Amino acid sequence: MASNVKILLVDDNPMVLGMLQQALAALGEVTVATDGADALLKAVDELPDVLISDYRMPGMDGRQLLEKLKGRPATSGIAVILMATKGDISERLSMQDPIEDYLEKPFFLKDAIHKIKRVVDRIALEKLSKAASTDGILRGSLSQMNVIDLVQSLEMGRKSCLLTMTNRDDRCEVYFSQGQAKHAAYGPVIGDAAVFKVLRWTEGNFQIDFNGKSSQETTTLNTQGLLMEGLRLLDEAQRDEAAEGEDVLLDT
């Protein structure tokens, strides 16, 4: 499901531009440009949330485009992802550049979209936060943003809050401090296991209380570790279910 994030995609290669545009359409509202000058005009005319630009382009390259955008107060807050070769990243670009992330060329489309999605999800959550009700609580549906995307976004945004998720009669609470999950409870289940139980949820509702705090620390893994281990357990369970299904089929 597309988010409320505006993406400006820039590349002088029509094939790369077309493939990325099609893949990114599911993440947000995508505008394309074929060179840096065109991208600058479009960014000024309609401010994007994320700029994804090739580094090497004729005329105004990605680095020059980045400098011009970051030098203008109106466009300085745009999150930038540059597509560049390993050589360009190590020789010409530095970690001090105001860049959200790099896509090292050549790259697999699936890997690139995964990286971009993490940035888009974080920005989508921030935009929703600004539109939150006056009680400081952000409410939404897990069909808009699933549990994994929510947790990753809170981690990347270094948020301190209480994330409450409900699915019919089930309820899970996860407390975050600076993006790290510190305490989780799912009925009588607490800690890492409570987080693992809800990662497969794609239905239900969530709310984020940015004033929510807890002194308890029941999780043993950091947020990224919880996601990785939870996904591993999910993958194992799905393989076991598939194997059981095959056994039943062979027995008939």
DSSP-derived 3-state class of residue 198: helix
- Per-residue pLDDT at 5: 92
The tens place of each residue's pLDDT in the chain, 252 residues long, gives: 457 899 999 999 999 999 999 999 989 999 999 999 999 999 999 999 999 999 999 889 888 999 899 888 999 999 999 998 888 877 666 655 678 888 998 889 999 999 999 899 889 888 877 766 566 788 888 887 889 888 988 998 889 999 999 999 999 999 999 999 999 999 999 999 999 999 988 899 999 998 899 999 999 999 999 999 988 988 887 675 554 444 333 332
- Domain residue spans in the chain? 6-127, 134-239
**Domain 6-127 class?**
alpha beta
- Measured at the CA of 128, the angle between CA 122 and CA 134, to 5 degrees, comes to 135
Whole-prediction pTM: 0.69
**CA 23 – CA 38 distance, rounded (Å):** 22
